[in-house]
Each structure stands twice: as structure tokens, then as C-alpha cells.
Chains A and B, each alone.
Chain A
Amino acid sequence: MNLPVQTEGLTKRYGGLTAVQDLNLTVRAGEVYGFLGPNGAGKTTTLRMLLGLVRPTAGTVRLLGRPPAAGRLTGVGALIEGPAFYPYLSGRDNLRVLARYAGVGADRVALVLDLVDLTDRAGDRYAGYSLGMKQRLGVAAALLKDPRLLILDEPTNGLDPAGMADMRTLIRRLGAAGCTVLVSSHLLGEVEQVCDRVGVIARGRLVAEGSVAELRGAAGLRLLADPLDAAAARARDLVGAERVRVVDGGLELAVEPDRAAWLNTELVGAGLAVRELRPRERDLEQVFFDLVEKGTADVA
């Protein structure tokens, strides 16, 4: 079985600047993979190298089992760094021109326009499209070939909240239909609902990889009780000192959330006033930020 995306030691240097360094990226068949990183991390450069648009300084790429530079890209659809079309043609005619290159029929054009909800405005000149409409057309073009592997670089750029939700639904549906999707984003929260796995890139290096739950880290409980000192002491007795931390005027307990009822009983029994006891959600963006900081510090 060929992996949809596999890179080894992928590196790109622009003069003195290393945009991507020694990247080993693997996307498995049928999964939706989130490729996360802050501005300038090297996401777009990596995706361009995957598609053979940019030549790696070092390392190899295999896309659906073949090196992309060797010839035609078959079975792959992509939207890289924003949509780009011919301004003097309508949305539909733009797709028709692209369909000729792709060797697919006009029926696909109508179908993908419908998929991205652009049928109504498909006859208008591209130059007059709003940002979100351009982005939708870009996604439509990526779907033209009915690809087995779809590569989307920040597909929700410029979309309104409804458009973002539509995009997530579309990605989830494509994933469910067996299409492998590689989607990049700045925001972990944006892709967590649709991605099976995510990789985090910072300063050109992959600093973390795994499911969203793995990256988020161990679950826990957040406790607000008065007086705080007494509550902390009691909690340490109950679950072990190393599992209790004082954070923001409350306690964070590194225990399974299903122990909340038991803890509550114990604390109330000890005469403490428990104001709040709930599963601790580590803020996703904080997780992401920590990973990036850590990755950046490791590189430095």
C-alpha cells in the first residue's frame, strides 16, 4: 500500500534562511491530517515541495507512491496559498479551462461548483468575486479531478463563520468518502473537529505529531473551593501531592474526570466550600502555543 504523502529529510533553504528543515511527514491513506504552524513556519513551502512546484534543497517526497517532479500529478487536488484564477473569465469558464488540463468533463465542473455553493454566481467574472467566493472557487478547482489526495493550504482563509462550518463539513464528508486530506491551518481549534491526526511545524521543523487528544495531554479536573489553602492540602492528601497544582486562584488536579463526585464528597465532608468542580479542558490554542514555543526553543 502506497502512503499518500511521505517525505524524508525534506529541507528547503532560501539563501541563509531555512524555511523547512529535515521534515519527515507521513500521511496515511484515508486520514484527515492537520498541518499546523504559525506564520512563516514553512507550511506552504512544504506543500509546494510536495506538489513539485518548489524543488527541495535536500530530501525526498513521495506522493501516492511517486516522486511528484517525475511527471503528471494524478489523483491529487490542491489549493496552495490562496486562490489564483484568470480575472477575465467567469468562475465556470475558469474551471472549464482547468478541466481541459485535468482531462475531465464539463459535468465535473457543474458538480464541484455545486459542492462549494457557487453555482449561482458561476457565470460572473472572477475579477468581481468576493474573497470568500474566490476561496470557494479555489476549493472547487482542487476537487475537479475527484482526487484521492486533497491538499488544502488554509482553506478557510477569508470565509465567514458559516463558510468555515461548510468547509469543515466538506472536509469531513470527503474524509468519510475515503479521500485522504492534508489541510494546513494556524489554528488547532479550527481543525481539531475534522482531523484524525495533526502535525505541528515551527521554524521549519515538525515539533509534535499525534491525535488532537494526545497533543492536548492528560485530562484533569479544575477545582474552586474556599479556603484555597485548606482545599489544596486536603486534595494533596486525597490524590497525591504531585497531582495538584495551584493555577489562577484555583486547583488543577491531574486525575480522571470521573472521580469528581468522590472528590466532591470528600472535600465537602472536610468542611470546605466547593464552588466549582469540572473537567479541565486545556485550552487548545494554549497547547498549540506551548508546542510551538517548545519547538522553537529546542531549535534555538
Chain B
Amino acid sequence: MSRSFRAETVKLVRRPASWLLLAITLVLALIFTYVFPYAGIAGGTDGPNTGRALPALLPDQLVGNSLGGLPVFLGSILLILGVLTVGGEYGWGTWKTVLTQGPTRLEVYAGKLLALAAAALAVVLAVFAVGAVASVLIASAEAQPVTWPSAGDLLTGIGAGWLIATMWAMLGAVLAVALRAVALPVGLGLVWMLAVQNLLAAIAAPLVDWVAKAQEGLPGPNAGSLAAALGAPGDTPGVAATVGGGQAAVVVAAYLVGFAAVGAVLLRRRDIG
């Protein structure tokens, strides 16, 4: 399995699309978390988000600010990464090439999931790093003191971010196995994350009781609750304290394991066309 993990890591790292996704992630995180809010403050505009004043952009808010994107828009990018990593083998027909070299299907699959988990950690660390730099720059520009979150908070935040990011990558992986392709799983995954989740939360849940109840069991709202519990700003899409942080962490972890397991069962059972 360590052989498979190394091979998968090489494929992931050498693939141009991986770097493009990372770049987009960091640019999005930077722009929406720091650049626009800071531009608003610096320009003196009084918008609907005036609550998001300067203190919200300083280094001591690093954990919440770095987690805010993961429930929806950075999560979508990790979903795409998951689909690409697994679905690429279907798209290029390379499953047979890999499997005839000897490894079992589950070895290859496990290698992929580990590589995805490592990539998710790298993405989360990069988001924290970019946020740290941005907040320090803002603090020094505004002559504010630089105080960091405690090491414990930082580690909890990185851990929670890693959990959410990996869960979305696993959703991408299981969609790719289920649909044996790249394009359709990416499309359906994004429709779910960007449209359906929002419609449920914004329109259906306030009107229909059981939808509101069911929401509490879905991956998105739980990821949003986990981020909210750790200080993510409540005006970020998808971030809302629907359930408690502890429960949210357990549910997100359960989805992570569930997605991985369903993918494994499907991959093992079905023919490799």
C-alpha cells in the first residue's frame, strides 16, 4: 500500500491540474477573506457587512478566517480534486494499466485516498499560511498589534479544516467510482454543493420542518457548524451553527469514512471496463 501511496502522490504532484486547483484555492481564500473586506474598510464603505470590521482581519482571528471557505467554496475545489484523482483512471482507461502491474484494487484505492488526505492537509496548511501572511500585512499597515491564536487553537483549527477538506475529497472520490467518469461527477458534485445545499438551507429549511431537521444530518451544514464553532465568520456562505461543534465533527468524520467505504465496495465489485 505504501507503494501505491507513493505512486499516487507522484501522479497527483506531477499533474498540472492539481497545481491549478491549489492556486485557485489560495486566490479565492485571499480575495474573499482578506482583500475585499479590507478594501471595504480602507475605502470607508458602509456595507451590510460592517460588522466585519478591522479586528476580524487580524492574526488572532486566523483560525476562523481560514476555516470559513471550507464548508462550501474551498470544499468544492477539494471535491473536484477527489473526482480528478479517482475519475482520471476511468477517463484515461488506466485502471487496467495499473492493475495489471499487480496491486489489488483496494491497494490502489487506499493509496489514492491517502494521497488525497495528504493533499487536503497541504491545501489547509497553505490556506492557513496565506491567511497568516495577509493578516500580518493588514495588522502592520493599520499599526495593530500582532497576536496569534494559541498553539492549541491553531492545531484544533488545522485538524478541523483537514477533516472537512478530506471529507469533500472523499465525496469526489466516491462520485467518480459510482459514475466511472470525470465530467459528470464534477458537475453533479458542484450542483449539490453550490446550488442544492444553498436552496435547502435558504428556502426549504425555513419553510418545511423536516427539511430543517434533515439538514442537521447532511455533510454541508455539519461542516459549516464545525467551522462556525471554531470562529469562522457567520456571514460566509455555508457557515452557520446549525448543530454543536462536537456533533458536527463526529458527523463529518462519519461521512468521510462512509464515502471512502462505499467507494471501496463499488470499486471491488464492479467490472473494470
Contacts and interface: CB of A to CB of B under 8 A. Distances in A.
A100 B7 contact: yes
A18 to B, nearest CB: 15
B11 interface: yes
Contacts of A129: none
Contacts of A101: 3-4, 7, 98, 101-103, 108
A72 interface: yes
Interface residues of A, number: 37
Interface stretch (B67-75, B89-97, B144-152): B89-97
Given A54-B271, A73-B102, A101-B4, A141 B96 contact: no
A78 interface: yes
Contacts of A86: 11, 15, 88, 92, 94
Contact of B92 (A87, A93, A103, A145): A87
A145 to B, nearest CB: 7
Given A72-B103, A78-B100, A145-B102, A100 B3 contact: yes
The dominant DSSP class at the B interface is helix
A53 B271 CA distance: 6
A71 to B, nearest CB: 6
B16 interface: yes
A45 to B, nearest CB: 10
Nearest to B108: A101
Nearest to A80: B96
B169 to A, nearest CB: 19
A97 interface: yes
Given A85-B94, A100-B10, A76 B3 contact: no
Given A51-B100, A53-B99, A74-B102, A88 B271 contact: no
A182 interface: no
A87 B4 CA distance: 19
A54 B100 CA distance: 12
5 contacts: A72-B102, A72-B107, A80-B96, A89-B11, A138-B97
> Which 7 residue pairs across A and B have the least CB separation, nearest first?
A84-B93, A100-B7, A102-B101, A101-B101, A78-B100, A53-B272, A54-B271
